[in-house]
């Protein structure tokens, strides 16, 4: 039996509780790991989350009292996990015109670890839940920023890039090789938990085809790995067929075959 988690990114000031309830109403108390943006800001021309597009002032998630109270209630019931999702999730453009995610344009930003730790502690108190994992906006993060995440006392859920973004140690290099060998041989992301020199890390696969999810699930079962699926509530809300694909895989396929629903943070802790 394998452990399975759902990581839902982009919870923020604009998130409506009703949207979350509608999306997950058929998941029967499956614990969802919500990656929360502390001060959402979206001044780029093409934002990631439709609900925040064009927002030019940082909006504190704490001001959405209905959402905060709902999350706290779910935390008490054990049906909710809280992850830190950047600081404001904003994008910036390089001189070349390249669109940079937050943990790319903050590269080499002084005292970034302190800022991350401040938000980790603030949201932990807000939701009455000890946050222990960081998720980079757009799953993109530089070596410097990842080290800052680790210095702040957080583990990481993300996708390893072709260019290594971890310190060069024997252990880290072994992890890097392991992940890319699995991808090269099986055409799958390495799903297991990896221990690096200063943090733990677990990948979250994107919501691809139903057959892809089944293939990854069978691989995880064979090798005793957990499986984490990365989604966005607003995308599932606006795309019923994608939501049904997730529900069908999780509730009709994985759970009946013994998959154990868990919070992502528990995999790392």
In this predicted structure, which of 56-65, 180-189, 217-226 has the lowest mean pLDDT? Answer: 180-189
pLDDT value for 266: 96
The DSSP bridge pattern shows strands 133-135 and 99-100 to be: unpaired
DSSP assigned state of 13: T
Query: Structure pTM?
Result: 0.93
> What percentage of the chain has pLDDT greater than the value 90?
77
Per-residue pLDDT band for 142 (boundaries 50, 70, 90) equals: very high
Give the DSSP letter string of 24-52.
TTTSTTPPEEEEE-SEE---SSS-SSGGG
**Cross-strand pairs, 40:** 59
pLDDT, tens digit (0-9, with 9 covering 90-100), for 61-78 = 999 999 999 999 999 999
Q: Longest Cα pair distance anywhere in the chain, in angstroms?
A: 51
């Amino acid at each position: 039996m394998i452990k399975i988690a759902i990581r839902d990114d982009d919870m923020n000031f604009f998130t409506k509780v009703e949207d979350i309830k509608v999306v997950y109403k058929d998941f029967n108390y499956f614990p969802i790991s919500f990656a929360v943006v502390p001060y959402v800001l979206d001044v780029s021309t093409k934002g990631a989350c439709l609900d925040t597009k064009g927002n030019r002032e940082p909006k504190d998630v704490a001001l959405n009292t209905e959402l905060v109270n709902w999350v706290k209630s779910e935390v008490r019931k054990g049906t909710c996990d809280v992850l830190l999702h950047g600081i404001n999730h904003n994008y910036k453009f390089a001189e070349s015109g390249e669109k940079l995610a937050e943990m790319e344009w903050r590269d080499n930003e002084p005292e970034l670890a302190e800022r991350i730790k401040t938000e980790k502690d603030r949201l932990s108190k807000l939701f009455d839940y000890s946050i222990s994992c960081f998720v980079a906006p757009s799953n993109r993060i530089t070596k410097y920023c990842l080290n800052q995440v680790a210095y702040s006392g957080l583990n990481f859920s993300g996708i390893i890039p072709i260019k290594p973004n971890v310190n060069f140690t024997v252990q880290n290099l072994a992890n890097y090789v392991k992940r890319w060998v699995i991808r090269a041989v099986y055409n799958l992301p390495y799903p297991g938990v990896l221990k690096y020199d200063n943090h733990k890390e677990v990948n979250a696969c994107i919501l691809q085809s139903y057959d892809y999810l089944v293939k990854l699930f069978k691989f995880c079962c064979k090798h005793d790995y957990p499986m984490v699926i990365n989604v966005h509530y607003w995308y599932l809300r606006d795309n019923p067929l994608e939501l049904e694909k997730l529900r069908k895989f999780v509730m009709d396929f994985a759970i009946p075959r013994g998959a154990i629903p868990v919070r992502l943070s528990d995999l790392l802790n």
